[in-house]
Chain A
Amino acid sequence: MKKFKKLMAGFMVAALMGTMLVGCGSKGADKAEEPAATESTEETTDNAEAETPAEEPTAALTGGGTNLIYIITPSHSNPFFKTEAEAAAAKAQELGYEVKTVSHDDDPTKQAELFDTAISEKAAAIICDNAGSDATVAAVQKARDNNIPTFLIDREINESGIAISQIVANNYQGAKAVAEVFVEAMGEAGKYAELLGKESDTNAGVRSSAFHEVIDQYPDMELVATQTANWEQAEAYTKMETIIQSNPDIKGVICGNDTMAMGAAAAIKAAGLKDIAIIGVDGSDDVRDEIKAGNITATALQQAALIAEMAVQQADDYLKNGTTGLDEKQLVDCVVITKENADQLSAFRYK
């Protein structure tokens, strides 16, 4: 028994050290996985034309019978989704529809329940920012089987021919465009860090590899740290502080979204560093204000309001004419927001 205890104590220490070593060694391995995610978004434009007409011959869906449009989005705690839902609701009301706005909180099960509710309420159409590219397919199919057309916004699903439209922001183009601004702000040289979004989320990979496609062309740009901050402000703040600690000579930060850019900017301010280039993606009003104040360099605006309105307009066209007259998959370009045009941005809408 005594020996066993000693053994255990020794084992614990050994295992601890072992995992550390493995952990520290895996720096490079993680990065290799990223690029794969990009291609799927790029291809979408080409696929769309080929596939949509082939699936169309079945009779057009006419809706459940009521004049009700269901708008299903992630939690409104993120202003992006709030704008999206509100813009869609306003547009639908303007076109004379009744509207129900609900949130699935990124839970596919809850989303499936909401689809069921929409079906039982005989909704005319569903506008949805979905809770998972695979998990959503069945729900959209079920709506289709019940004669209700679904229009997807912001995120795609892994199947075409089921939803009527899939309108998404061109993350890839947006991230590339904002990375160009970043490189210019850095003077094409210097050390920079990267804060990744939730790594299980496709967009995190797409944005990261688009950033690198641009930045990696410049040999004098040196990536010194990559960390996940899970799209979160507080996490970006602490991680950024720690990164600065080991790399005090850092000159720039690329962030997968605006919330993390806000956290990084706060950490840089707290560390007393100046003239650091920071970029994000999304185009939130908070970041717009920081851009105006000179604390953040640029962001790529995903036109959430525009995308939501397009979806509602297409739903209306489809219900009236049996076709949207457009491809199923549509990419909407992002707008780069810098100090020059920051004033034109308000609530994810560019004027």
Chain B
Amino acid sequence: MNNSKQKNNSAIIMTLLKGRTLIVLGILVVFFSIATPTFLTTSSLLLIAKHVALYGILGIGMTYVIITGGIDLSVGAIVGLGGMIAGGLINEGLTLKMFGVTVYFSVPAIVIITMICGALIGILNGLVITKFNVAPFIATLGMMYVARGFAMLRSNGATFSNLTGKEGLGNTGFEFFGRNIGGIPVGAIILLIIAVIAAILLKKTSFGWHILAIGGNEKAAKLSGVKVNKVKILVYMFSGICAAIVGIITASQLVAAHPASGESWEMNAIAATVLGGTSMSGGVGTIGGTIIGAFVIGVINDGLVMCGVSEFWQMVIKGLVIVFAVVIDQFQRNLQAKMALQSRNENS
């Protein structure tokens, strides 16, 4: 009798722990709604969604990477480089020296080129990690500097401003990604699309299963026929593409591309991922969790600005929330292990 009651209690705590990030998000929303009257309005929430889109998209790529047991520190730099590639193509075009001509691309073509560049950087990350057996932390740290350096080199450090394109060159319309469609920010729509695709890939396809398997036990995955290297390269490629997309969105919002933009954004992406319950040791994680994690950070950021709290407190609070999330994560794991043990004992 006593035993079953205890088990029941554990189950309740378990459910609470599983939904912890959502609970934190709920508390934050309630808190800010009371603190500032303008917080709980449609336009505020849409604005938060617009801001969340940036590191939310980075977080989705990061989630895949972290589930495989890796990390991608280069995404912030790829954001900067992506913006510079897109901005450069709009303002200066592509000069082919051997033919002595300058080619201007349309905006959709520029977006695709930028995404391909992001993918290539990601593939390079993956190759260095798998073929040369370099720790992901080191490989992507190196790539962070390389990509940032190239972003600076692209314009010699200057900003590409006024990225509106020219009618005559047929490359107008880049501002689209910073605009709203029917009141909804384009960035948020892109976040939603990528999130849905990424969640389906992770849950419903063998590719997703392989990602989880590699993170759970790489050797076992390899022995059961998973092409570990190929999957890992694809995962870093995906992260690179996500980062390039964020580069496009942020350049489009500012109508300007600065080579230093995206600096330390990888940290927000990692934070969103971890808050969302993805384990840094790999094997566990969901896209939905990461999105909720990204919203927690977004609500903290924007809510505190609306409150008029200084940046320094914003940092302190963000840091505390992240660490608490991981502490709770560990409790959940221990509890889960204990419950599993308990039921095994009862069965035997």
Contact = CB atoms under 8 A, between A and B. Distances in A.
Q: Which of A228, A241, A242 has the largest count of B CB atoms less than 10 A from its CB?
A: A242
Interface in B22-64: 24, 27, 31, 35-36, 38-39, 43-44, 47, 50-51
A19 B255 contact: no
A5 interface: yes
Contacts of A79: 157-159
Nearest to B254: A266
Main secondary structure of the interface of A (DSSP, over half): helix
Interface residues of A, number: 48
Given A237-B253, A286-B161, A23 B320 contact: no
B43 A245 contact: yes
A5 to B, nearest CB: 6
B38 A15 contact: no
Chain A CB within 10 Å — which of B35, B39, B311 has the most? B311
Contacts of B261: 232-234
Size bin of chain B's contact surface: 35 or more
Interface stretch (A70-78, A125-133, A177-185, A206-214): A70-78
Contacts of A6: 13
B157 A238 contact: no
A16 B27 contact: yes
Contacts of A122: none
A234 B258 contact: yes
Given A2-B13, A262-B256, A23 B309 contact: yes
Contact of A225 (B250, B255, B308): B308
A8 B328 CA distance: 8
Nearest to B310: A30
Which secondary structure dominates where chain B touches chain A? helix
A63 interface: no
A5 B13 contact: yes
Interface string A13-43: 1011101101110110010000000000000
Contact of B305 (A9, A17, A243): A243
A23 B314 contact: yes
Contacts of A5: 13, 331, 335
A19 B320 contact: yes
A30 B308 CA distance: 11
B87 interface: no
Given A16-B24, A77-B157, A237-B253, A245 B311 contact: no
A77 B260 contact: yes
A12 B44 contact: no
A15 B310 contact: no
A245 B37 CA distance: 11
B178 interface: yes
Nearest to B179: A270
Nearest to A31: B310
Nearest to A8: B331
A24 B307 contact: yes
Contact of B31 (A17, A75, A241, A286): A17
A89 to B, nearest CB: 14
B316 interface: yes
B59 to A, nearest CB: 16
B306 interface: yes
B268 to A, nearest CB: 12
Instruction: In the A-B complex, list the 4 residue pairs whose CB atoms are closest, starting with the nearest.
Output: A77-B157, A23-B313, A228-B311, A246-B38
7 contacts: A8-B328, A12-B328, A13-B27, A24-B35, A27-B310, A286-B161, A289-B161
